[in-house]
Amino acid sequence: MATEKKICGYHGTDKEYGDAIFQTKIFLPSQSDAEWLGKGVYFYIKSDDAAEWCKKRNYDNPMILRACVIVKEDEYLDYDTEDGKGLIRSAMEVITHASKYTKFGENNAAAKNQHAIAMVLWAEFPELKVLLGTFPTQAHPFPVIKDVRPLRPEFCVRDSSYLREIEIC
Amino acid sequence: MLSKQYVVEKLHQKLNEMPTPYKHAYLRKFGFEFDTDVPSAVKNIMKLYDSTWGTGGSTNEDIRFGQAYKEAHGIGLQAVMRFQSDG
């Protein structure tokens, strides 16, 4: 039997949407081109991060939902593990090789390229259900080599149909 | 976790099978940012060859070589300019 992994997280939203999500069990996937793990449904691993997200968005009536996803070995990718980092580096090399003589942008292109890597993975690997990664919580005041920004772990699920145990916190 | 070998092989195969001019379009579709705007670069390449055709500035052999270069290395004015400066 294939090894399964259960990943649970917290999604912050406004109560109006949160109630609808809880009733329908449908989370609308984020469609922004700036999402670092691509288009999908986002969760923070820590509830405090979801609360902070609500605060930042100035929700009048914030609500936090918890949900879990169960994935088989080949249905997820964790950017934070050594294997995950190696996979992303290798995928970047393949993409770079294919786009010989063209640079991947120089002005603030990092976030868009980060999104694009995830979008390639979602498109080419339909078995993939979850992408996980830890990302900085804020922009750098100015560019430096050593990244000292606070980090928060999060994950993105392809769509709501994979989510289980949805509950209001 | 998804296997690195599987991901690399599948991506490599996908991109290798794709005709060169479509590789950038494929990557752009997913949101990769490039310095060179491909459609305008293509226009510039065509303009460049149109303007030099029959003027003594370019020969059929140059054009054939230029086209082969473009196909081998991807479309983009920078590539053609590099080809020209390389002689």
Given this model, what pLDDT does residue A135 score?
92
Look at chain A and report how many structural domains it folds into. 1
Q: Tell me, what's the ipTM? A: 0.82
A45 interface with B at CB cutoff 8 Å: no
B42-49's contacts with Cβ under 8 Å and 24+ in sequence apart are B42/B75, B44/B77, B45/B70, B45/B75, B45/B77, B45/B80, B48/B77, B48/B80
Q: What percent of chain A has pLDDT over 70?
A: 93
For B:16-45, CB contacts with A below 8 A are 18, 23-24, 27, 30-36
Residue to test with chain B: of A7, A102, A107, most B Cβ within 10 A: A102
Residue to test with chain B: of A82, A88, A94, most B Cβ within 10 A: A94
A109 interface with B at CB cutoff 8 Å: yes
The larger pLDDT score, comparing residue A53 to residue B87, is at A53
Given this model, what pLDDT does residue A26 score?
93
Mean pLDDT of chain A: 90
The larger pLDDT score, comparing residue A73 to residue B51, is at A73
Count helices and strands (H / E) in chain A. 4, 7
A96 interface with B at CB cutoff 8 Å: no
Q: What percent of chain A has pLDDT over 90?
A: 66
Given this model, what pLDDT does residue B70 score?
53
Q: Check whether A10 has a pLDDT greater than 80.
A: yes
C-alpha torsion sign, points A53, A59, A64, A67 = negative
Report chain B (87 residues): mean pLDDT per 10 consecutive residues: 92 80 72 60 49 44 50 47 39
Q: In terms of Cα–Cα distance, which of B45, B65, A36 is closest to B36?
A: B45
- Which of B4, B24, B35 has its CB closest to that of A83? B4
Given this model, what pLDDT does residue B82 score?
43
Range of the domain at A71: 4-168
The CA distance from A158 to A127, in Å, is: 10
Given this model, what pLDDT does residue A66 score?
97
The CA distance from A117 to A85, in Å, is: 12
For A:63-82, CB contacts with B below 8 A are 73-78, 81
A119 interface with B at CB cutoff 8 Å: yes
Give the distance between the most distant pair of CA atoms in chain B: 59
pLDDT in tens, A103-119: 666 666 788 888 999 99
Q: Do A121 and B73 touch (CB under 8 A)?
A: no
Compute the average pLDDT of residues A133-147: 85
Q: Check whether A133 has a pLDDT greater than 50.
A: yes
